[in-house]
Amino acid sequence: MNKAQYESLIPKPVFLEKRGGVCSLTPESKICVQAGSTWALQAAEYLAGRLRPLTGLPLPVEEAAQAFEPGCIYFTAQGAGTELGEEGYQLSTEEGCLIIRARGFAGFFYGCQTLRQLLPPAEGPWEIPGVFIEDYPRFPWRGSMLDVARSFFTVDEVKRLLDLLAAYKLNRLHLHLSDDQGWRIMIDSWPNLALHGGSGAVEGGRAGFFTKAEYQELAAYAQSRAITLVPEIDLPGHTNAALASYPELNRDGVAPGLYRGMKVGFSTLAAEKEITYKFVSDVLGELAALTPGPYLHVGGDEAHSTEDEEYRLFMGRVQDIVAELGKTLVGWDEIIQAGLRPGDLVQIWRKDTRPREAVRQGAKLIMSPCTRVYLDMKYGPETELGQDWAALIEVEDAYSWDPVSVYPDVGEEDVLGVEAPLWTETIHNLGDMEYMLFPRLLGVAEIGWSPRQGRSWEEYRLRLAAHGPRLRAAGVNFYRSGQVPWEER
Ligand code: IFG
């Protein structure tokens, strides 16, 4: 077994011990599930769906026989210790078979992702090397964000992204559904938001919107890959598409035109008008009913055209609306100045913000520092795509940082996790999306999952190099950074 199968695992497992023997998959191999475990069955069906086309083997899924048969893959909750939590798993080769032990769907699902990486990426022999792995995540929030508002992305393109996130044990996809340039979700009580506000885009971008059925299809697809969708309606700024769709939302009753530029901070809802809160309540109410996850992201960023006092008033009423809907509020770090409530989640993005103030008010932090994980930033000066206002972010820059060390007065218990946004002012298609996200997103996945101690760029860059053939086999249009000695095998 060449080293790649052991030493190209991303994210790096908490504990891995090489063992003798292999589990060889053959036409007689089966995927066996502990009787009665629906989570294990769902994960097993998912795994079969991936391995059958890859290997050409039948790999039937069956309820587990008592004895372990060589060449078979087993899913069982027996022996899964509480230290694994919901997302952890144990993966081991025993007497020539492969056993995945877990306590919940996510754990079984993540065992499948590691198993996929222990198999060769493209051709046989389909042998899983002798190994014992015990693995679980450091942070509960490990994600990315896709801005579908500047430029729209289709259901199939978002599903492709969800598949790639899942392969690296990322479990959150934040969808930025509204902004100045576009409104991307149908709201029945305000149909013009999508019908008119969805008909524009940033210059060179794509118009469009998700119907409710399409959005629910994405939410279900995400859930089947242990990913929670986090929908964002950006308020009170970044609202030109909404203001263009309904004159009555505007302070002077006049609707602006659709906006195709790249400026920010020029739009605001009218905090003094009562209709604004009916709008917000209707929109968030319909979105909350569509979203199985517990989160509603209300934006709050760059409200440069909203007076400070208006902003505080507005955000206070938005917090009431989100609370009445029984959802957990997420907002960009500007919401700290509006006053937070215990349990709110603050997404830290700016270089100069006050996370200690947020934690003091009982909030938890999602770390998205613009100088490290804003993946619309260019890799280097020669990168054609992307922007450079925050920083140039090469693969090493996106890897060599830690969410708990960004601010001196923030501790491990204050941080919920990490999220890498992709803003799409200049990213208008799937190939460009993949180019900007990969390989930097693999480093973010490792920061979110793997232990902090022992993490080093020098070690990771070789593992990433060995992982290259797997990205190629998956057809990912990834950036071949000169910082990584890519293996061409
Ligand atoms: N900042 C804006 C985004 C986007 C981004 C582009 C936030 C929270 C710059 N707000 O990041 O809408 O324009 O890099």
Phi-psi region of 85 (alpha: psi -120 to 50; beta: other; left: phi over 0): left
How close is the Cα of 53 to the center of ligand 1, in Å?
Answer: 40
Q: Which of 111, 49, 116 is nearest to 75 (CA)?
A: 111
Q: What mean pLDDT do residues 157-185 have?
A: 98
| Residue 302 falls in the annotated catalytic set | yes
The pLDDT of 393-411, averaged and rounded, is 95
Helix (H, G, I), strand (E, B) or coil at 275: helix
Q: Whose CA is nearest to atom 10 of ligand 1?
A: 301
Extract the tokens encoding 167: 């392969």
d(CA 310, CA 321): 17
Tokens at 62, concatenated: 């069956």
CB burial of residue 257 (10 Å; 0-12, 13-18, 19+): exposed
Q: How far apart are CA 381 and CA 404, in angstroms?
A: 29
Q: If you average pLDDT over every residue of the chain, what do you get?
A: 96
Under 8 Å between Cβ of 436 and 483? no
pLDDT in tens, 310-369: 999 999 999 999 999 999 999 999 999 999 999 999 999 999 898 999 999 999 999 999
For residue 488, what pLDDT is reported? 80
- Kindly give the distance from the C-alpha atom of residue 263 to the centroid of ligand 1, in angstroms, as a whole number: 10
% of the chain at pLDDT higher than 90: 94
In DSSP terms, 90 is beta-bridged to: 101, 134
- What is the pLDDT, as a whole number, of residue 64? 80
Is pLDDT above 50 for 129?
yes
pLDDT band at 285 (very low <50, low <70, confident <90, very high): very high
Mean pLDDT, rounded, for 22-28? 94
How far apart are alpha carbons 154 and 135 in whole angstroms? 34
Q: Tens digit of pLDDT for each residue in 50-88? A: 999 999 999 999 998 667 888 999 999 999 999 999 999
Please report the pLDDT score of residue 36 as a whole number: 87
Whole-structure pTM value:
0.98
How far does residue 226's CA lie from ligand 1's centre (Å)? 27
pLDDT of 436-480, one tens digit each?
999 999 999 999 999 999 999 999 999 999 999 999 999 999 999
Q: Name the residue of 177, 302, 371 whose CB sits within 8 Å of the most ligand 1 atoms, as the mutation to test its pocket.
A: 302
So what's the pLDDT on residue 66?
A: 66
Residue 134's DSSP bridge partners are 15, 90
pLDDT-based confidence at residue 1 (cuts at 50, 70, 90) = very low
The CA distances from residue 234 to 6, 117, 180, in Å, are: 43, 38, 9
Sheet with strand 61-63: strands edge to edge = 15-24, 127-135, 89-94, 97-102, 73-76, 31-33, 61-63
3-state secondary structure of 330: strand
Best of 301, 330, 377 for a ligand 1 pocket test (most atoms within 8 Å of beta carbon): 301
- Residue whose Cα lies nearest atom 6 of ligand 1: it is 423
**Residue 200 predicted with pLDDT over 70:** yes
The residue-averaged pLDDT of 160-171 equals 98
Ligand 1: atom nearest CA of 179 is 12
CA distance 297 to 172: 12
Tell me the residue ranges of DSSP E strands in 127-237. 127-135, 141-147, 172-176, 228-235
Catalytic residue among 7, 157, 217, 302: 302
Q: Alpha-carbon distance 182 to 193, whole Å? A: 9
For range 240-266, the mean pLDDT: 98
Is the pLDDT assigned to residue 3 strictly greater than 80? no
Using CA atoms, how far residue 195 sits from 26, 184, 242, 262, 424, in Å, is 53, 9, 11, 22, 21
Predicted confidence (pLDDT) per residue in 184-197, tens digit: 999 999 999 999 99
How many Å lie between the centroid of ligand 1 and the Cα of residue 423? Answer: 7
Quickly list DSSP for 127-158. EEEEEEEEE--S-SEEEEEEETTTS---HHHH
Beta strands in 201-304 (DSSP E): 228-235, 295-299
Q: Are 99 and 68 in contact (CB under 8 A)?
A: yes
Residue 3 is encoded by which pair of tokens? 């080293």
